[in-house]
Amino acid sequence: MMSDDTSLNRKIYELSDLAASLKATISKTYQGRYWIKAEIAKLNFYPKSGHCYPDLVEKSDHKVKAQMRAIIWADDFFRINQEFLKVTNEPLKEGIAILFMAGITYSPVYGLSLQIYNIEPSFTLGKMAQQKNETIKKLKEAKLFDLNRSLPFPKLPKTIAIISVETSKGYHDFNAIMKTNEFGFAFHYKLFPSLLQGDQAVNSMLLQLDEIRKYANLFDAVLIIRGGGGDVGLSCYDHFLLASAVASFPIPVITGIGHSTNETVVEMVAYANKITPTDVAYFLLSKFLVAQQEITDSIKSIFENSKNLLRFKQNWIQNISRQFSASSTKMLHNSYFLLQLNSSKLQKSIHQRQNLERINMQKFQGQIVYFAENQFQKYHSQIQNQQTKLKQASVFFISRKKEQLFQVESKLKLLDPVNVLKRGYSITKINGKSLRNAGKLSVNDELRTILYNGEIISIVQKIIKNKRDEN
């Protein structure tokens, strides 16, 4: 077994010697069974033999701190896996944390490994719940959690993308209800086949969601429906990537995953979660029914309100015409009344005016008579006055003339040739005219000489002239 290398003074061992020594040391040191926690990095299940050789790791910040191989023998694996499924609804699989009881074995051929005798599923369940909570927390922090649910839902979800499996019972149920619905509603749909449970489902659904996203403006909603698959392998719906893809999807996502376990994160963030595909179908049909009811209501409302509107307008016209006739009658009546009022006012004022004029006239008449009488008296007295004056003047005038006449008479008396003749003077005439100029006499002219008590006729014998003027 051991041999000496004398030339170099070294001790050389066979590999099996070392292995045997390790095996002895390990089995002596680690005799018991230990509870250990680790993550299954790889399951390495061999269905043929039923044995399982998981690779276990412990990571810290994505770095491997420790790694070890484990063995679960077929009998143990069957029992452990059943128990695990029952409690967690998930089979043993990669990526989950487990708490297990193991012994440490060393095989010279296979090396160090942990032989797992038992796994505590509640530990994993707790870890899963913790992960789910973390997923929810992350979605909320990223403000994604309520995004899909706050999208407006189309009035008529008519064109639908379906993530499901053609052969699944859920898809079949959905189809049966939608296609043969009693209301005759028609819709378009497109199936995007995908795994719906298990580890591969996350990627599979993500790929189809990406595909649908390319046609997002064509579709009204996305359905994720599954049925008859039991409650196993649904932790994919708690996966952060899938949940965030659903939450941030541009059109509403409706889930009908059909299970009886707690609501998964995808169902929480989806626009609506309807448990079963049948419920999803009824949900969509109800939207159609609501739309149809709205149309029916609209028809009814339009009919009723148009009728009312027309009736209202008719009433309005009737009222207006009634009002028109009433107000025109009233207006005519008013005008007539006004006219009457004015005419009586006019009559009254004419009458008043007449009276006034009459009074004025009477007043004027009186005044005129008064003035006339007055004037007349004035003239009368003037005339009397003048009469008196005239009388006086006449008397005066006559007496003066008498006096003048008397004087003239007296003078005349004085001038009377008789008187002169009495005093001895005579008047000599020729041819009937007084003779004053001796010059005009001729001898033999007959002269007539008038004396106081007779006349003498004589003939001129001689003419003696004196110096006095001839005229």
Binding residues vs another protein (CB under 8 A): 154-156, 158-159, 165, 184-195, 200, 203-204, 207-208, 211, 215, 218, 288, 291-292, 294-295, 297-299, 301-302, 305-306, 308-310, 312-313
| Nearer to another protein (CB atom), residue 98 or residue 163 | 163
| Nearer to another protein (CB atom), residue 274 or residue 287 | 287
| Nearer to another protein (CB atom), residue 301 or residue 367 | 301
CA distance 158 to 434: 180
CA distance 3 to 35: 41
CA distance 209 to 196: 13
CA distance 168 to 176: 13
CB of 200 to another protein, least distance (A): 7
CA distance 233 to 90: 5
CB of 147 to another protein, least distance (A): 21
Tally of CB atoms within 10 A around 138: 15
CB of 208 to another protein, least distance (A): 6
CB of 251 to another protein, least distance (A): 13
| Nearer to another protein (CB atom), residue 164 or residue 273 | 164
CB of 150 to another protein, least distance (A): 17
| Nearer to another protein (CB atom), residue 158 or residue 239 | 158
CA distance 333 to 329: 6
CB of 162 to another protein, least distance (A): 10
CB of 252 to another protein, least distance (A): 14
CB of 284 to another protein, least distance (A): 12
- The number of residues in the chain equals 471
| Nearer to another protein (CB atom), residue 77 or residue 271 | 271
Q: In whole angstroms, what separates CA 36 from the centre of its chain?
A: 73
CB of 192 to another protein, least distance (A): 4
Q: Which residues contact 15 (CB under 8 A, 6 or more apart)?
A: 108
For 457, phi then psi, to 5°, come to -105, 130
| Nearer to another protein (CB atom), residue 204 or residue 255 | 204
Residue bearing tokens 């230990």: 34
* Angle (CA) 224 229 230, round 5°: 115
| Nearer to another protein (CB atom), residue 18 or residue 186 | 186
CA distance 422 to 440: 28
CB of 285 to another protein, least distance (A): 11
| Nearer to another protein (CB atom), residue 187 or residue 283 | 187
CB of 156 to another protein, least distance (A): 4
| Nearer to another protein (CB atom), residue 155 or residue 330 | 155
| Nearer to another protein (CB atom), residue 195 or residue 253 | 195
